[in-house]
Structure 1
């Protein structure tokens, strides 16, 4: 649309009278009535291609828009963006295009995308090829029709999964849902966040930070798609899902949201979100058996027993003596098997790093899983194998650690039980002067600090703390971060810190293979 046509559309959007005459529009935009009538054809075409609004023309009465509140807000946003074009970088533009295509229910033309983002069509085509390749991961495809445009083809469930994981289109190694979260009004995000936290408090458990964000985003997407009349289809194993505790309180959670958003969650929508909550990670191992699922729990128990026994024999490490490993695996695999049962993707942003740092442990688990493939009904992906590697590596660290009692340290980790345990046991093994008092998510940090004396906070994400010194480390705690922690403790103590196991012999050993079968780089005599 040209500037005059945009002005006409603004008038129709803001007009207080029920109808506007063509003559009135001509006077307000300073042109002829014939020009206005031609402009209205362009506006009508634009609305058909980009919105669910309708331009209605009644002879001898006038012109008006049939449009709901959400669509009106969307149109205002588009007009504002057209008047104030934002210079997006390539990654931001890619996300914006993918988001629009996934949200649209109508065909989108290359021309409209080129005009929206002020880029040539060949750049749009390049972006579309990248988006199309990524969509295949979610069993989605582009359907293109000549002179009409293209549309994303696939199930509503898969479209929502892609939307919730849109950040991985540009940064597959990060958990960062900032873009998709920004597509919702802040007050809507606050409402869902508040009700989700009340569910955590009522049932006395907490999601990991990433799982909390994931459930939050899936809920917001569900609300928005329902308002667009895009509902999920039948959910597999629905009768089994309905027997779980999570189904009961998911229903309670969603019913509390209905009056805020003027929506009604159908049975299928409740089941759909329950599945995502069943597949979410929790922080507290003692809250492992949240679900009443009578099929998954026995399968988890059997698998945990088998993998621990086989790993003990394969590596000559007494994993079977570590009760914490058994509890941690039970918590983790219960949600993993729920995800696999309902074909939900498993993401691990640190897959390559874990394979590099712990190759022997990773390969050992691959071997054991291959032996057990006939005993479980799922294919375990590499991403999940990497998570299991963290649990076993943490156990290995525990079995050989030296305990410490002096400085009280709190770990703040957003990645779940396996990662928290690995950080904790690594730190306690390396440093005599540390006493790890707990591992919490960022949401519980302030509450913990108000109740317990803490000397140092070690976090996997940047924190702004005034009352307690803090240091940020990588979740895998490489050698460089060990040195950072060493310097921090040294500074606080005022004297050098003893680091366990740092003998001359270790100069000849690759630390990333440290699992009892290290690789000797030089022949020692």
Structure 2
């Protein structure tokens, strides 16, 4: 069975997420549109079915592959054995493996044949490979008639190989492989399996665990992973005749350390097990790894053992970050101790040019840019002679991010609520959130069209009443009436993000930058507030003056119903072309139902260029009609509420329509009043709600 590269990527993601992953998350992971993922799912389903597995889809959870571990393992093996179509990333990885493995030059046509692509495709891939190699100070030589080859020292090549291997597995998976407990070892690409044998990795890992007992300190998981990879690569390269060089003075300096004695022991065991002669230079590098991986166990002695430079530098870093973020990290003693414990061996690693394995570094830098940048700047101030690489800075971001102090300062949660128009269902959702989720302290409502004017990174959580295919940020699709299950889902998401709330940090930086302007109530700001109040009162008067309750004759279909209500608004001079407005309401309904679950009301709303002033009318149906509800169910309605707005709304107008939307579902009594189609009751309810909101505005 042919399996395309994209099908394989989707299957691997599904197998990696046994509890479920949704289409949006898959699309983000593969950097494609949701529509592309949907297109590929039919093929994925067929492949799973061919291996007696099922693609299960659960609303609110996502998709997962159902079956036994054995069946899933067979599927992974089948994928590897299939006539493979490689992704661009896989091709580039295989090219890297070939270049790092081969001491001689390689023909371009030979690579193209191995990868089942054209020479032009390989040539294009080599441009990306060349960029990647620059980080390791390795040069790609390309000559016509000669082929391609890699220029650089053995040490640099090993560093690049180690980085490639570390990218394949996280620490948990790596430890599972070493301890021979990893169910499927197919996560290593074929190219890497030719360079590093898993059996050697397992044997060396167990050997290091035994020798670790003799160390006066334990190895952190990341250090154990880096060290095991280093030794495994060293053995493979020595067998191939590739040797490493070391400065004689450095070697002499290392030979007087207690770690050198342990390194000598490791070398004796390796020589015996793998039947190779290991040069003394390798012993020097093993010593460096042991020194760089040191992690104190006696926490009471951390300050005594550390140099004054480390203590002072760590304090300076904490002080700098505290000032920039206006969070007092200085009161967190555990953070102070943790920084010293990490920074001292980190500086040693940097000075000795040892690789710091951190597979999450890129993700951390992308997810927490504000904190990353501040810590990077703080390190330059605290340790001006040391240039910290991305991997080390990312570890320090985690230290600060997990501080109890930042948790205490991140209690404010700002939510962005989106819908297609920004006047109807999103307002209902915002109203429910205020009542149900006290953790959310600030809510901003926006239409999709207005997204370009919003700084999305300033929000901790994004909620939408409609699906948004291709939207780049993580969001949760929510029923505007916020059922209990969805409220819990939002709370869980807030808890997950509470330790490192990047949006909170960005707001602090933003507020700090513009503090002076925020504090001053300038004449311009006062005038703007008065203009909004004027817009609000004018809109309230217009709504109350034009509001009507209208009884409709028998209407057979929902499309004719919409045409009739728009015609009624047009007859009263409230809107222009009612055919166009009808089409716009129909399109809005396609994006998500407009019936309010648990009631017999539908709130049809949209923005339109054929609406000059906000409109609110109530229609009583002659007979109940079935419409699609906001929770995707079907409900019978006897009341249709029409809420229309201009495309370009003033702030005051938007506030009036927001108040109307939230009042409809305010409580059971409100819903009963709007269902009644009684003019006096609805008019009275609207008047009080709009007036109360105006009074609150005056207080603010």
TM-score, scaled to structure 2: 0.42
Cα displacement (A) at 1:161: 0.7
2:338 to 328, 332, 352: 328
Cα displacement (A) at 1:274: 2.8
2:86 to 89, 104, 108: 89
Cα displacement (A) at 1:363: 4.2
Q: Which residue of 2 aligns with 1:231?
A: 243
The alpha-carbon distance between structure 1 residues 206 and 117, as it changes in their structure 2 partners (threshold 3 A), is same
Which whole-Å deviations, capped at 9, do the CAs of 1:275-302 have from their partners, x for residues lacking one?
334334759674997xx9x9x9454233
The alpha-carbon distance between structure 1 residues 114 and 518, as it changes in their structure 2 partners (threshold 3 A), is closer
Q: Which residue of 2 aligns with 1:120?
A: 118
1:189 to 201, 214, 217: 201
Structure 2 unaligned spans of 5+ = 1-80, 175-186, 411-438, 440-473, 477-483, 519-528, 530-696
Question: In structure 1, what is the Cα distance between the partners aligned to 2:256 and 2:209?
Answer: 23
> Which protein is bigger by CA-based radius of gyration?
2
Question: In structure 1, what is the Cα distance between the partners aligned to 2:294 and 2:475?
Answer: 28
Structure 2 counterpart SS, 1:391: helix
Kindly indicate whether residue 504 of structure 2 is the aligned counterpart of residue 513 of structure 1. Answer: yes
Q: Which residue of 2 aligns with 1:386?
A: 394
Q: Which residue of 2 aligns with 1:251?
A: 264
8 Å Cα contact 1:315-1:516 kept in structure 2: no
8 Å Cα contact 2:111-2:122 kept in structure 1: yes
Q: Which residue of 2 aligns with 1:303?
A: 313
Cα displacement (A) at 1:204: 6.3
Question: In structure 2, what is the Cα distance between the partners aligned to 1:149 and 1:511?
Answer: 47
The alpha-carbon distance between structure 1 residues 105 and 383, as it changes in their structure 2 partners (threshold 3 A), is closer
The alpha-carbon distance between structure 1 residues 355 and 264, as it changes in their structure 2 partners (threshold 3 A), is closer
Q: Which residue of 2 aligns with 1:261?
A: 274
Which whole-Å deviations, capped at 9, do the CAs of 1:36-58 have from their partners, x for residues lacking one?
xxxxxxxxxxxxxxxxxxxxxxx
Structure 1 counterpart SS, 2:353: coil
1:198 to 193, 210, 228: 210
8 Å Cα contact 1:358-1:514 kept in structure 2: no
Cα displacement (A) at 1:261: 0.8
Alignment of 1:366-445 (within 5 A): 366-374=376-384, 377-397=385-405, 400=408
Question: In structure 2, what is the Cα distance between the partners aligned to 1:160 and 1:257?
Answer: 18
Question: In structure 2, what is the Cα distance between the partners aligned to 1:287 and 1:149?
Answer: 59
Structure 1 unaligned spans of 5+ = 1-83, 403-429, 431-477, 481-485
Question: In structure 1, what is the Cα distance between the partners aligned to 2:367 and 2:115?
Answer: 42
8 Å Cα contact 1:241-1:274 kept in structure 2: yes
Cα displacement (A) at 1:138: 0.7
Question: In structure 1, what is the Cα distance between the partners aligned to 2:82 and 2:367?
Answer: 45
Cα displacement (A) at 1:519: 6.2
The alpha-carbon distance between structure 1 residues 139 and 169, as it changes in their structure 2 partners (threshold 3 A), is farther
1:216 to 222, 225, 228: 228
8 Å Cα contact 1:258-1:264 kept in structure 2: yes
8 Å Cα contact 2:325-2:505 kept in structure 1: no
Structure 2 counterpart SS, 1:138: coil
Question: In structure 1, what is the Cα distance between the partners aligned to 2:130 and 2:119?
Answer: 16
Cα displacement (A) at 1:383: 4.2
Cα displacement (A) at 1:108: 1.4
Alignment of 1:93-112 (within 5 A): 93-112=91-110
8 Å Cα contact 1:207-1:282 kept in structure 2: yes
8 Å Cα contact 1:322-1:399 kept in structure 2: no
Cα displacement (A) at 1:345: 4.5
Which whole-Å deviations, capped at 9, do the CAs of 1:244-272 have from their partners, x for residues lacking one?
44333222222211111111222211112
Which whole-Å deviations, capped at 9, do the CAs of 1:420-450 have from their partners, x for residues lacking one?
xxxxxxxxxx9xxxxxxxxxxxxxxxxxxxx
Structure 2 counterpart SS, 1:142: strand
Cα displacement (A) at 1:124: 2.2
The alpha-carbon distance between structure 1 residues 288 and 200, as it changes in their structure 2 partners (threshold 3 A), is farther
Structure 1 counterpart SS, 2:96: helix
Aligned residues: 345
Which whole-Å deviations, capped at 9, do the CAs of 1:488-518 have from their partners, x for residues lacking one?
xx99xxxx99x99x9xxx9xxx863259937
8 Å Cα contact 1:181-1:217 kept in structure 2: no
Question: In structure 1, what is the Cα distance between the partners aligned to 2:282 and 2:318?
Answer: 38
8 Å Cα contact 1:361-1:389 kept in structure 2: yes
8 Å Cα contact 1:250-1:273 kept in structure 2: yes
The alpha-carbon distance between structure 1 residues 382 and 247, as it changes in their structure 2 partners (threshold 3 A), is same
TM-score, scaled to structure 1: 0.54
Question: In structure 1, what is the Cα distance between the partners aligned to 2:121 and 2:262?
Answer: 47
1:147 to 145, 162, 166: 145
Cα displacement (A) at 1:313: 4.9
8 Å Cα contact 1:238-1:271 kept in structure 2: yes
Cα displacement (A) at 1:312: 4.3
Question: In structure 1, what is the Cα distance between the partners aligned to 2:262 and 2:142?
Answer: 42
8 Å Cα contact 2:92-2:125 kept in structure 1: yes
8 Å Cα contact 1:329-1:391 kept in structure 2: yes
1:162 to 152, 160, 179: 160
Question: In structure 2, what is the Cα distance between the partners aligned to 1:354 and 1:223?
Answer: 33
| Cα RMSD, aligned residues only | 4.6
The alpha-carbon distance between structure 1 residues 182 and 361, as it changes in their structure 2 partners (threshold 3 A), is same
The alpha-carbon distance between structure 1 residues 253 and 387, as it changes in their structure 2 partners (threshold 3 A), is same
Q: Which residue of 1 aligns with 2:536?
A: none
Q: Which residue of 2 aligns with 1:340?
A: 350
Structure 1 counterpart SS, 2:387: coil
Question: In structure 2, what is the Cα distance between the partners aligned to 1:163 and 1:114?
Answer: 22
Cα displacement (A) at 1:348: 4.7
